Amino acid sequence: MSSSDASDAIIVADPIDESKTRSFLNQVESVLINLADYLNPILVKEARQALKSRSFTFTFTALLICAWGWSFLGTIAQMPRIYYAPSGLSLLAGYYVILAVPMLIIVPYSAFRSLSSEREDGTYELLSITTLSSRQIVTGKLGSAILQMIVYYSVLAPCMTFTFLLRGVDMFTIFMFLFYTFLASILFSAIGLMMASLSAARAWQMLMTVVLLFALVFGSFVWFVGFFEILDEMDRAPYGESGFWIGNAALLSGYATFLAIVILVAAGQNSFAGDNRSTRVRIAIFIQAILFAGWVSYGAVTIKEEIVAVVMSFFAFATLFVYGIFLTGESGVMSPRVKRSLPKSFLGRMLFTWFNPGSGTGYIFSVCHAVGIFLFTLALSELGPAWANGRAVPGYMYDTMFLSVGYFIFYLGLSRLVLIMVPHREQYGPALPFLLHIMIPFLGVAIPFVIQGITQRMIGSQYSYLQVTNWMWTLVQSADHGLPVDFVPGIVGSAAALVFVINLISATREIEAVRLDTPDRVKEDNEASK
């Protein structure tokens, strides 16, 4: 065959190859289009709007410029040492800061604004009347935020991976930084959606905007501090130890339950008034409490230190108080739709009544968890001699735990009692319970502090009986080798018991709620909708 014949054969074959390639691409496109039909419609809508917005274009462009600029400046600054000495660590730190700013601040704030703007403008009602559930709306907006994160990662992840070639940092550390930053950004975005769901009033939304921005900046600062601390300790990273992986498993399980709680709270606040907004949230909290007990037990026995359970219990009390703010802020009126799903048997009512919606049941649910954690920690301490290394926890630490539970019961219940006396409180949404549960404990600290400062002419005086309501000073003083006033635990315990009894009496109507039979018309509608 001559050269001209060969060239003719090649020219003839080209259209066939192009048609095959075009046919393959058309098939891929049709498959993707069919898959898009199964995606969350909110995700598709939000993704189109977000990726075409000016804020995304500006952020993406700034990210490219900063990445290019740091690549140039970071390399020049380390010349000529970069040729013979490990230089990847400093470049990694710069790339990470550039990536973390949009991931931890811009994307969560954009998620917050995407939902709050619809609630302010009244366009959310158009979404609520569709067949989409509130959970689908929230997860669709969260999915749009995740899509933006992936786009930002596509810019910086290759640059961060490149630092591995410069030595000084291992690939697994880079992966861990990227992985946990991605998870943190998802959680921050979910919290932003939850805060946007708290109230539709423009004034409350402005307040939530300020609070969220402050929280994002503060959280990012703490995250950066932790990042640089890990970089300093990177040479001693225990990647080969089983405890490292078990600790990560515990962290991820806690993260998953907390993320589920935040999403369920956001979905519940965006649901219609007659929906059951609380039961799923309480189930998630209960699962988280079980996981907490399991992991704390394992950690205490493995480390052979009783103090592990005691310290973690204080963290659990603080977390439960935040949950209690939302649970005690619920309305005590249950719709017929909710009553049709209540437990029917005596055993079911006895065990699961506290999972029903309502402010009173939410308070008792929170108190039961706090008391359960306290008793669980005491049980671990009683079993301590069987597995601990002989160093017992000081007795005043258990007094501190008792005081923590007492203040928890007292202030959560007192805030609820004040809340239920507010007329038409439902119109304020969860923002009012949030403010009351913050303001009343703050007054419990500030008022006795000011009184003692005025009476004794010195604010920095010693602890006295006037500080019984000052939970902050009392707990710090108790944890620091005990209280100088012996009767404080008795006063706190008595006040907590009194407030609990009053709340229990006020929650009688919620506790006595019984299941309603489903009308035939509703049964027919449910069958037709299947």
Element (H, E) at 128: helix 124-128
> According to the model, what pLDDT value does residue 488 have?
86
**Whole-angstrom Cα distance, residue 214 to residue 180?**
21
- List the chain domain ranges: 36-237, 246-530
**Whole-angstrom Cα distance, residue 339 to residue 332?**
12
> According to the model, what pLDDT value does residue 36 have?
62
Helices (H) and strands (E) counted in the chain, each on its own, are: 22, 0
**Whole-angstrom Cα distance, residue 322 to residue 171?**
38
**Whole-angstrom Cα distance, residue 124 to residue 115?**
8
DSSP-derived secondary structure letter, 335: P
> According to the model, what pLDDT value does residue 37 have?
59
**Whole-angstrom Cα distance, residue 482 to residue 394?**
9
> According to the model, what pLDDT value does residue 214 have?
93
> According to the model, what pLDDT value does residue 369 have?
93
Question: Torsion angle of alpha carbons 17, 23, 29, 34, nearest 10°?
Answer: -150
Contacts of 479 (CB under 8 A, 6+ apart): 396, 397, 400
**Whole-angstrom Cα distance, residue 472 to residue 113?**
35
**Whole-angstrom Cα distance, residue 471 to residue 476?**
8
> 271 is written with which tokens?
């649901």
Cβ(388)–Cβ(306) under 8 Å? yes
> According to the model, what pLDDT value does residue 11 have?
46
Residues of the chain with pLDDT under 50: 1-2, 6-13
**C-alpha closest to that of 124 among 133, 115, 132:** 115
> According to the model, what pLDDT value does residue 10 have?
45
> 407 is written with which tokens?
């203040």
Q: Summarize pLDDT for 451-483 with one digit per residue, the tens.
A: 877 776 555 567 778 888 989 888 888 888 777
How many other CB atoms are there within 10 angstroms of residue 320's CB atom?
A: 23
**Whole-angstrom Cα distance, residue 356 to residue 359?**
10
Helices (H), 233-278: 242-269
DSSP-derived secondary structure letter, 82: G
**Whole-angstrom Cα distance, residue 39 to residue 313?**
41
**Whole-angstrom Cα distance, residue 358 to residue 328?**
7
Q: Summarize pLDDT for 36-92 with one digit per residue, the tens.
A: 656 667 777 777 777 788 888 898 999 999 989 988 888 888 777 777 777 778 888
> According to the model, what pLDDT value does residue 9 have?
46
> According to the model, what pLDDT value does residue 489 have?
87
Return the residue matching tokens 């970071």: 74
Between helices 242-269 and 171-196, what is the axis angle to 10°? 20
How many other CB atoms are there within 10 angstroms of residue 206's CB atom?
A: 12
Contacts of 131 (CB under 8 A, 6+ apart): none
Query: What is the maximum span of the chain, computed from C-alpha positions, in angstroms?
Result: 112
Asked whether the bond before 80 is cis by omega within 30 degrees of 0, the reply is yes
Residue type, 287: I
**Whole-angstrom Cα distance, residue 224 to residue 184?**
12
